[in-house]
Every structure is written in C-alpha cells, then in structure tokens.
Amino acid sequence: MTLSAQRSVQLPRFRTLLFSSLIAIGSLAHAQGVQPPPLNVVNLSASGFLEAPQDWLSMSLSTTREGPDAVTVQNQLKAALESALAVARASAQPQHLEVRTGQFSLYPRYTDKGKISGWQGSTELVLEGRDFARISTTAGKIQTLTMSNMGFSLSREARLKLESDVQAMAIERFKSKAGEVAKGFGFAGYSLREVAVSSADQEGRPFQPRAMAMEAKAAMSDAAVPVEPGKSTVNVTVSGSVQLR
C-alpha cells in the first residue's frame, strides 16, 4: 500500500475518534449537571454603621538613657521601669487598669569611623483599661517615665456588641433592597445565591504629646493627665447576588 493510501485510511479513523471523544465529553458535562449561566441574577450591596463612645484607654509611658557601656544603660532602664511598675501595680485592677511592659531596646552609637562611642536605650510601660481617671492619675504619679503616646478605642466586648448590631442592620438593608429590585423589575420575589459580609472600624487618632508637655510633666507631682475620649464607628457591608423569581 502506498503512503497516500495509508493516509486516506488513517484520516477517517482520526475523525471518527475525535467525534466520539466530543460526544463523550458532552455526555459527561450533561451527567455532571453543567448548565448555561442563569438569567435574572442581580448583584447588590448594602451597608450599615453605628457610633459608640470609646470605652478603652491605652497610655504609653517611656524613657531613654545613654551611657558609655551597655550594662550601665541597661541597669538605668531597668531601675526606671521597676520604679514605674511599683507605682502602677499598686493601682492595677482587671479591666479598670491593666499594666504591661512595652518595647525595650538597647543599641550602640557609632563614630564617623565606625567605632562604638556609647550606648543608648529605651523602655516603655503601658497602662490601659476602662477607668480613665485611675489610669490618668496613676500616670501622673510615675516620675521615672514620661507619657509618649495615648489613644482611645472600643473594648473587645463593646466592639463585638456594636458589630452584631451593625451587621443585623446591614442584612436588613440588603434584604430590603433585594425586595425592592425584584418588585421594580416585575418579579414576585428573589432567592439568595451568594453573600459576603465585611466590617471595618474607624478609631480616633492616638494622642502624641509634644516634647515640651512631657518635660513639663516631670516637674509636676501626682498630677493627673487630662483625657477626653471620642467615638468609634463600625461599618459593616453585605454584598452578594440574588436570583429574581
């Protein structure tokens, strides 16, 4: 048999196999329930938000020390922190005033020639809780550290309660909008296809005292630091798609 005759025989066989494969793929897709994209599907989103008074205060107190060697600087920072802890722990109470240590750093200083010329370090103490008066008064009693940062926020319990309320609000708005859209297009109702819920918090900006104010505090004795909380906003967005029916 010539080469051209062999090709004429193999080509019909190839077409037959290809046709059979296409039929098998189509049958498999049909068996798996593959259907064309649904009609009358609408994408929607709805949001809700609520404000609540900030009920949690976080206040950071810190200090820096310098010295010729690392051990001297470390001991100075340790003494300053231990003294501050003794004052803070005397007023500590769960949820009202909680005390924890913050950052502690120690690093060398170099000359222009790359040689160590001394050491510098810093330490931090954090006071936080719901009792603003107790926290601010305790901060005023600490003489070895100065206030470096202060911020208000929602406590975990308050945030969870607010998120639950806002989520319920956003869901109701989504359902109402879906019903209005279905009615507007002449449909009797809708069924939910997909939905996603996301939330975001907006807190007040942290307060950072100026260096002049922190220096003035060192000359004050047992003076409470003035504080004034703001409000936090929780936003919840519900988005998804509905099938008009």
In 3-state terms, what secondary structure has residue 214? helix
The DSSP line for 141-186 is H--SSEEEEEEEE--HHHHHHHHHHHHHHHHHHHHHHHHHHHHHTT
What pLDDT does 229 receive?
A: 86
As a whole-number percent, the residues of the chain with pLDDT over 90 amount to 68
**Phi, psi for residue 216 in degrees, rounded to 5:** -65, -30
Region 168-188: what's the mean pLDDT? 95
| Residue bearing tokens 């769960």 | 94
Mean pLDDT of 21-46: 66
Domain ranges (residues) in the chain: 1-35, 56-153+206-229
- pLDDT of 217 over the 50 cut: no
Run of H or E residues at 197: strand 190-202
Q: What is the pLDDT of residue 223?
A: 64
Q: Please name which of 122, 130, 36, 56 lies closest in space to residue 92, comparing C-alpha atoms.
A: 130
Stretch 63-67: mean pLDDT: 95
pTM above 0.75, yes or no: no
Region class of 232: left (phi > 0), else alpha (psi between -120 and 50), else beta:
beta
242: pLDDT strictly greater than 80: yes
Question: Count of alpha carbons within 13 Å of 22, Cβ hemisphere only?
Answer: 6
Q: How many CB atoms lie within 10 A of CB 227?
A: 15
201 has pLDDT over 90: no
- Rounded Cα distance between 123 and 102, Å, is 7
Q: Compute the residue count for the chain.
A: 245
pLDDT band at 1 (very low <50, low <70, confident <90, very high): low
pLDDT band, very low/low/confident/very high, at 12 (cuts 50, 70, 90):
low
Element (H, E) at 237: strand 231-244
Residue 39: its pLDDT value, please? 83
What pLDDT sits at residue 135?
95
- Work out whether the CA dihedral 130, 132, 135, 138 comes out positive or negative: negative
State the chain's mean pLDDT as an integer: 83
Question: What pLDDT score was predicted for residue 203?
Answer: 62
Structural tokens at position 111? 């000359």
pLDDT of 130-174, one tens digit each? 999 999 999 999 999 999 999 999 999 999 999 999 999 999 999
pLDDT of amino acid 38? 78
pLDDT at res. 237: 95
Q: Is the model more confident about 154 or about 19?
A: 154
Residue tagged 């200090």 (tokens): 63
Note the pLDDT of residue 218: 42
Query: What's the mean pLDDT in 113-122?
Result: 93
Radius of gyration, CA atoms only, the chain: 34
| Architecture of the domain made up of 56-153+206-229 | 2-Layer Sandwich (3.30)
Question: What's the confidence (pLDDT) of residue 14?
Answer: 44
What percent of the chain has a predicted confidence (pLDDT) above 70?
Answer: 75
DSSP state of 93: B
Q: How confident is the model at residue 11 (pLDDT cuts 50, 70, 90)?
A: very low
Is the per-residue pLDDT at 36 higher than 80?
no
